[in-house]
């Protein structure tokens, strides 16, 4: 993982690309792997798979990631990400 960015920038990149609100259990100025995606994940991807495939590998092991639904409730891992997408 060569490219790095702050947690705050990572969260902003997720919002920009995938239109999903997340929280990461790390300080906003901590450096993590860059969210290098240019295209949004498929709407039929589950929250759990999305976190495992796009988020977790860029963060230190065991880092808490919270994904929110459009209504600002915590999304369950079996829910589809289409219910978390929003307009920012």
- In order, the DSSP letters of 15-40 are HHHH-B-EEESS-TT-EEE-----SP
88 in any annotated domain: no
Listed in order, strand segments (DSSP E) in 1-88 are 4-6, 22-24, 31-33, 65-67
- State the total domains in the chain: 1
Q: Quote the pLDDT of residue 87.
A: 78
41 in any annotated domain: yes
Ordered per-residue pLDDT tens for the chain, 88 residues = 579 999 999 999 999 999 999 999 999 999 999 999 999 999 999 999 999 999 999 999 999 999 999 999 999 999 999 999 987 6
Range of the domain at 38: 4-83
């Amino acid at each position: 993982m060569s490219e790095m960015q702050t947690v705050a920038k990572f969260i902003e990149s997720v919002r920009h690309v995938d239109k999903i609100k997340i929280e990461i259990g790390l300080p906003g100025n901590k450096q993590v792997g860059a969210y290098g995606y240019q295209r949004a994940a498929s709407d039929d991807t589950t929250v759990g798979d999305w976190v495992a495939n796009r988020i977790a590998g860029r963060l230190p092991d065991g880092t808490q990631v919270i994904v929110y639904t459009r209504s600002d409730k915590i999304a369950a891992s079996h829910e589809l990400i289409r219910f978390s997408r929003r307009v920012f």
